[in-house]
Every structure is written in C-alpha cells, then in structure tokens.
Structure 1
Amino acid sequence: MDILSRILSLLPINEAIRTSVLSRKWKYVWCSHSNLTLNKGTMRKPYVKTSTGYRWLRDNEFITRADAVLRQHSGMGVERMEIKFGLHSKHADHIDRWVNFAIASKTKEFVIDLSGWDKSIFFSKLSAGNHRIVREPPYNLPSQLFSPSYGSSLRCLELTTVSLQIPADFKGFLNLKSLSLVDVSITDEEVQCMLSKCNLLEFLDISFCKTVTSIRMLHPLDQLKHLVIDICPKLQEIELNCSLTTLKYSGNMIPLIFASTSRLTNSSIVFLTYGSALSYIATGFPSTLPRLETLNLHCAERERTIVPEGPFKFTYLRNLRLELFLPGHENIRKTDVLDYAHLLKIAPFMETLELSLVMVGL
C-alpha cells in the first residue's frame, strides 16, 4: 500500500481519484495523496469539455468538488496543498475550511492563489498603471494560520490576492524557507514582523502589493539568498540586512540597500520610469556589486549621459543584457547608442553582450 500511495502521489489529484474505480483495494489509496492541487484543471470533470474547448468552471462547482476531495482525504501525509481559483471574501466560509484542513494536516507547503490569473497578468496591468486588479474585497486569512502549532511545520508559504492581519502574539514560522506575497493586502509593519520571525528564510517574493511603501529589516536575515520584488507601485525603499546571491527587481528607480553585496552574482532589474542605464550601471547599485557575473537591465531613457572615468571595473561580469526603450522621435531622443561602448572598458572580461533597442512613439 505504501508503494501504491507513492505512485499515486506522482499523479495529479484528479487522476489519482479516478483510480478508485479499479478495485476495492484501490478505492481508498488516493485518500493519502501527498500533493493536493485544487485548481480549475484538477477540479474540472472530463464531461465539461465541449467541441470549442472546456466550459468555464463556476465558483460553486469548484467549491463543491474541492469540499468532496478534502472530505474524503485522510488528512495524513500532506506535503503540499495548493488552492488556486478566483475567489473572494464572500467565499470565506469555504476557504476557511480548506485553510483549517491544511493546518490540521500540518501541510509543509501551502499555496493560496485566489486571483484566478497568472503572474504575467499582474505585470501587464500594473506596469500600464492599472492599480486596481480585483473588484471584490479580498479574502482575509484566519489567525489560525499563524498559530505556533502550525508555524513549526510550514516550509513554504505562497499567498496571492488575499488580505492578512498578523496577530499580536505571532511567534513566527520557525522553519519557513520560502515566502511569496503577491497582490497581498499587508502593511509595512506586518512585512517587517514576518521577516523578523522567519530566521531560516532563503527565498522572498513580494510582488504587486499595492499597500507596501517600505521593505526594511535591519535584523540579520543570514539565510536569505534570493529576493524578488515586482512592481509594488508605492514602494520607496528597500533596506535589508542580508547577503543575497540573486536579485530580481522591477518598479521605480529607488534605493536598494543591503548589508552585504559581496555574494550577489546574478541581478535582473527592470525600471518603469525614465533613467540612464549607462549611468546606473557605472555609478548606481550595480557598481556596489564586486562579484557580479550576470546582469539584465531594462530601462527607458531620453537623456544622454556622459559617465565620468573612474577606476572601478566589473572584473567578474561575464553576461550583460540591456533592453533599452528609446523615444522614436529624433527631437526628443538625445541618447547615442555608441556611448554604450564604455561598457567594454569597465567590463573587460565580458563574454556575452546583448543589446536590445526598442523605439517607442514612432
């Protein structure tokens, strides 16, 4: 039975459930499935497929099928539980039951994505200036999720399009290694509280959070190696006491301050406001990265910048990709692409240089 359970755990939950019709022996094997992925794909029955494709899965259909799966599951051995469907605060009673199931089963990896969209949709909407994504009030996470009894079990937590209020007695997620907050209603103080009580955190993603203005944590985050910050429209500063190896940032040009940058080797930066890419590389944040090996920079610029000569060189930089958005009208554009030959001076050991120029407003 252990071998059968292991085999079924490699199947999507809907496929595992279908094996229950094979025999009496197989009927309940799926009930110990360790990977509970509840989304519009796994909760859709085969007969809803039409000649033009799959019929849209309704809220009540998703809820009914998700309830049926969790009602029959043993609640034991759940490694990962994912709830991914477009739901809101009016569905709170149902979502609360699913969250309580995850807590009771001590799920190690818990994903709640109530947006109903891929992350790329958030990028396209917010980069275009549309800061309002959902019309319904977001679901508010229950305080039980932050209880000490569950906090020691959790290894990975991913939250999308929810609201959370951290209780005053929050002790932290003592073994949490990966935290993702996407389109989450959260305050600066709550972000700081989360970070201060997750000492084993290795990966942090804060994206499309419209209420966050500052990500600041002077308490050492010794294990944090990978940081992703995507388009938080009101964000004004990032200051963390950590030593990253990879950084991905997109948004306005703001100060990026880290206690140590000696280990940061891979950086991807997308600026949504006008600025000088050449000046930023030579005198901005990248110039503080002594061991930078790979840099991807997306920038929109109008003005030509003459970078002063200096002793600094990127001796470790091997791969550089620049994507520049330039005004198409010559009366507006004052840049000169030949200025970027300066990069060959400050990065003498560069192996790959990719320069992409996009003329806008033609």
Structure 2
Amino acid sequence: MKQVCCYFDKENRISHIPDPIRSHIVSFLPMKEAMRSSILSRQWRYVCSSLSNLDFKQCDFEETKERKTGDFVDFIDEMLSTHDGLDITRFSLNMKADDPFLYSRQLNSWISFAVKHNVRDFELSSYICRRRFEKLPQCLFTSSSLTKLSLYTVELNLPTIVNFPVLKSLLLDDVTFLGENLVNKLLSSSSCPVLEKLVIWYCCCIDINTISISIPTLKYLTLFDTHELNISIINSVLRKLKYMCCNPPNIIYENVISVVSAKFDFSLDISLCSPPVDSFFKSASKILVWLRNVEKLCLLSGFIEMPVQFLSRDREFLASKPSSCCSLKHLHVDMFASEKHAQVITLLSRSYPNLQTLSIIVEDLYEKAAISNMANVEECWKPTQLPSGDILNSLKTVDIEGFKGSDGELCLVRFLLENAKILEKMNICYSDEKLETVRCQMCITEMLPKFTKVSPLVTISISSKLFC
C-alpha cells in the first residue's frame, strides 16, 4: 500500500506544485499556451488568473486555420475577467488596429484594466495595417505606477493633463503627434519628472516644426528619422546619445559634456537646406568639440559626408578638437571610398590621443552626384596643416570592412601603420564584388608590404567580406 501511494504521488507531482511556482512556470509561455495549461488538472484551472505578465499577440491566433472570427478579442476579455486582482507587472497588446472586431471601447477597457491594476510596463503596438490607434484613455497618461511606456503606430492626441510621476522609460515608434504645446509638455519635467530613457523613432508631427525636450533627469536619448523636425534639447544630463536625423539637434554644451557614448548620422540634401550650409556644418562640428568625456563614438557616413567640406576649413574646430577628446577609447566610422572621407577620418584619429580601437566600414559610393556637388569647395587641408605631436599612442586594434583599394583608403592605412606605435592587429576585410576584388588584391599584395610599420608587434589579417 505504501508503494502504491508513493507511485501515485510521483505521478501527480505536477498537480501539487505551489501556486507561485505554477504561475512562474506559465509566465514563460505564450498567452495562448498559458491558457491551455489550465486543463492539466483541477489545481491548474485558474493558474492564468494570477499571472503578472500579460502579453497578448494577435498573430498567435492567426497561425491556426480553425481560427474563428473575434477569437482574439474574446480571449483577452476572458483572461481579464478571471484575473485575481493582483498587480500587473507587464501588460502588452500587439494587434491590428483595423481589426473589425476591435472597438475603441474594448481597447480602452483593457488599458484601464491594466492601469487600475498598477501596471508598471505597458506596451501597445499595431502591425500590417494603415490605421493607427486613436483616443487612448486619459487614465493611461496619469498613471501613478507606470515606469515604462512603449507606443507603436499611434496617433497621439494627448489630454490636457499628462502626469507620469514614476515613468523612467518612454518609447515612441511611428507616432503622429497632434498639438505642439501638448507634445512639448509630454517631453518636459512637469509631465515626466524622473524620466531617464527616451526613444523616438519614425515620428512626425502635424503642423509642428520643433520639438523641445526639457527633462533634467534624462540620461539615454535616441532620435531616429524625425521627418525633418527641429529637435531642441535642454536641461538634460545625457550619458548616451543616438541621433540619426536630417538636421543636427539644437543642443548646448552643458547637455553633452556628460555623454560617454554617442552615435550620429545625418541625411541632408544640400539643395534643400534652408539654413546656410556653413551654419549647418558648424552645428555638427561643435557637437564633436563639446563631447569632451565621450568614451565610445560612432559616426556614420551621413555625418562624415556633410562636414567633409566644412571641417577642413573650420580653423576653430582644428584648434580646439585635438585637446577636447582625450577620453575617447573606441571609434567607429562609416566612410565612402574617397580621398576627402579618408582625410577627415585621419583628422579625427589625430584628435583622440587615447584611442584604443578603430572600426571602419567602407560603403559603396552610391551618391556620386551629391559628393561631386559637395566637393566644389576650396582644396582640402594638407597633412602639414594637421596638428603635430605624438598621436595614436594607445591604438591597438584597427578593423576595416568593405575595403576597396582606393587611393584614399591606402593613404589612411599607411597613416595608421606609420603612427600607431603599439598597434597589435589590423584586420582588413576587402569587398567581395567581382570588379573590385582583383584591384583590392593587387593593392594588398603590392602596396601594403611597402608601408612602414612603426609597431614591431602588428599583425595584418586580410580576408574576404564573405568571412567577416
């Protein structure tokens, strides 16, 4: 009899798992599978009622052929109706905004449910549809529990009262802002007094030209493709800055002095530039001058291309830049295989005496017309005009991807080999395009061995792009 009881206990061990452990196990499953776990046994019947992470994805319901109309909406209603009332850690809705069975009152009721249960992380996103979510309930914008808010494909018509007292992370992706005053109010300390991270992707504004970000606690800022909006950043002590937009931001020295990691890319059509070109380029170059404590810097080809004609003529930049960035250790740049681009990178490398790693990606010269227009300026600076003295004393690793063997690239490689005194590795990944491969291999086999290598320890590794 004792053996039978032991056997029975082992067979039914899953039924006797404590409720908190059951809920924890189910929390790792997709919501639809979590719901199915309720049929395991009588003890598991209400396991989903105590979940603290509610992640609803409509695509999970479209994978089965037997899906019935409105199943997804009914599923959410059933899940929320059986919830035990405990606080919700994360509430995520990923669905079609144009679903004919989804009504705004239902969406608002779900959001209100999450807010009522003190949700800390809320996400709303739409996919494969042209319609946007509209008229979100006011309770979402006055939540006293939210620490993270992520909105995708939303037409953000903000209420007059916006208050997130504990919000630390805000992500806005493909959001259309309505009302300049309300947008600037959202991105201010009065609405988000403790916000630390702000991400704005592919957002646009109706009848709005400028967005002002004024949050003293902001540490991490990402701005990507803001549809030619002018961005003004004030009263922020940033640590990480990613800025990939058409125009340089309107930013002051105090906001970037604390930045330790930065990434920049601009996408400008010179012919459509409303401010004076020199003024535009000077704004970009000043940002580099002000980044005095940056340790990791990424400059994409759009950033390198636009100041290519300006940095060479900006004597103020040349005078101040070399002494301003002693903290930089890691530099990544994207460049075109042109002499002017190589010269700008040479200038930058001279400006960072403590640089340890340099990563370069050589892109295809796909906008020759734009580059020829920009090249119609005074002659680029000569090496004799560059700051003198010891340089590249800390550089240990150089990675070059997409090497095409142009004169500018060869000059850059020679400069690095002749000045990096403790260089250990130079990894060159040449382009795998057939028309360029032969030329690259000739340059590598005939030219590189002739370059002076000031470092006795340096090893040069050469490979095809296919193996990078």
Q: 1:175 aligns with which of 149, 155, 166?
A: 166
Identity of aligned residues (%): 27
Conserved in 1, the CA contact under 8 Å of 2:48 and 2:79?
no
Equivalent-residue separation in structure 2 for 1:41 and 1:205 (angstroms)? 25
Conserved in 2, the CA contact under 8 Å of 1:82 and 1:112?
yes
Q: Is 1:215 matched up with 2:216?
A: no
Q: CA deviation at 1:38?
A: 0.7
Conserved in 2, the CA contact under 8 Å of 1:141 and 1:163?
no
Q: Is 1:81 matched up with 2:91?
A: yes
Q: Is 1:95 matched up with 2:107?
A: yes
Mark the CA change 1:228 to 1:89 in structure 2 (over 3 Å): closer, same or farther.
Answer: farther
Q: CA deviation at 1:88?
A: 3.9
Please name the residue that 2:81 is paired with: 71
* Larger CA deviation: 13-22 vs 315-324: 13-22
Please name the residue that 2:199 is paired with: 205
- Give per-residue Cα distances to partners, 1:295-340, cap 9 Å, x unaligned: 11113337645253314331011111111357xxxxxx77352442
Mark the CA change 1:12 to 1:28 in structure 2 (over 3 Å): closer, same or farther.
Answer: same
Equivalent-residue separation in structure 1 for 2:346 and 2:213 (angstroms)? 38
Q: CA deviation at 1:190?
A: 1.8
Q: 1:291 aligns with which of 290, 293, 296?
A: 293
- The CA RMSD measured in Å over matched residues stands at 2.9
Q: Is 1:346 matched up with 2:338?
A: no
The letter for the 2-side match of 1:193 is: K
Equivalent-residue separation in structure 2 for 1:350 and 1:251 (angstroms)? 27
TM-score (structure 2 length as normaliser): 0.62
Equivalent-residue separation in structure 2 for 1:272 and 1:343 (angstroms)? 20
Please name the residue that 2:10 is paired with: none
Conserved in 1, the CA contact under 8 Å of 2:228 and 2:247?
no
Q: CA deviation at 1:280?
A: 6.9
- Give per-residue Cα distances to partners, 1:183-210, cap 9 Å, x unaligned: 2222332222122321111111122111
Q: CA deviation at 1:59?
A: 7.8
Please name the residue that 1:17 is paired with: 35
Please name the residue that 2:21 is paired with: 3
Please name the residue that 2:257 is paired with: 262
Q: Is 1:335 matched up with 2:337?
A: no
Equivalent-residue separation in structure 2 for 1:100 and 1:228 (angstroms)? 29
The letter for the 1-side match of 2:357 is: T
- Compare relative contact order (CA 8 Å, sep 6+) and give the higher one, 1 or 2: 1
Mark the CA change 1:299 to 1:230 in structure 2 (over 3 Å): closer, same or farther.
Answer: same
Equivalent-residue separation in structure 2 for 1:59 and 1:225 (angstroms)? 45
Please name the residue that 1:40 is paired with: 58
- Give per-residue Cα distances to partners, 1:223-267, cap 9 Å, x unaligned: 211011111103113222110100111111223414432220001
Conserved in 1, the CA contact under 8 Å of 2:147 and 2:166?
yes
Conserved in 2, the CA contact under 8 Å of 1:319 and 1:352?
yes
Equivalent-residue separation in structure 1 for 2:96 and 2:226 (angstroms)? 21
Equivalent-residue separation in structure 1 for 2:171 and 2:209 (angstroms)? 17
Please name the residue that 2:138 is paired with: 143
Conserved in 1, the CA contact under 8 Å of 2:248 and 2:283?
no
Conserved in 2, the CA contact under 8 Å of 1:182 and 1:209?
yes
The letter for the 2-side match of 1:290 is: R
Q: Name the SS of the counterpart of 1:291 in structure 2.
A: coil
Mark the CA change 1:34 to 1:138 in structure 2 (over 3 Å): closer, same or farther.
Answer: closer
Q: Name the SS of the counterpart of 2:236 in structure 1.
A: strand
Conserved in 1, the CA contact under 8 Å of 2:56 and 2:94?
yes
Conserved in 2, the CA contact under 8 Å of 1:89 and 1:136?
no
Conserved in 2, the CA contact under 8 Å of 1:141 and 1:162?
no
The letter for the 2-side match of 1:179 is: L
Equivalent-residue separation in structure 2 for 1:9 and 1:247 (angstroms)? 34
TM-score (structure 1 length as normaliser): 0.79
Mark the CA change 1:298 to 1:345 in structure 2 (over 3 Å): closer, same or farther.
Answer: same
The letter for the 2-side match of 1:105 is: H
- Give per-residue Cα distances to partners, 1:4-31, cap 9 Å, x unaligned: 2233233332332222111101110121
Conserved in 2, the CA contact under 8 Å of 1:240 and 1:257?
yes
Equivalent-residue separation in structure 1 for 2:282 and 2:27 (angstroms)? 48
Equivalent-residue separation in structure 1 for 2:341 and 2:21 (angstroms)? 65
Structure ID, larger Rg: 2
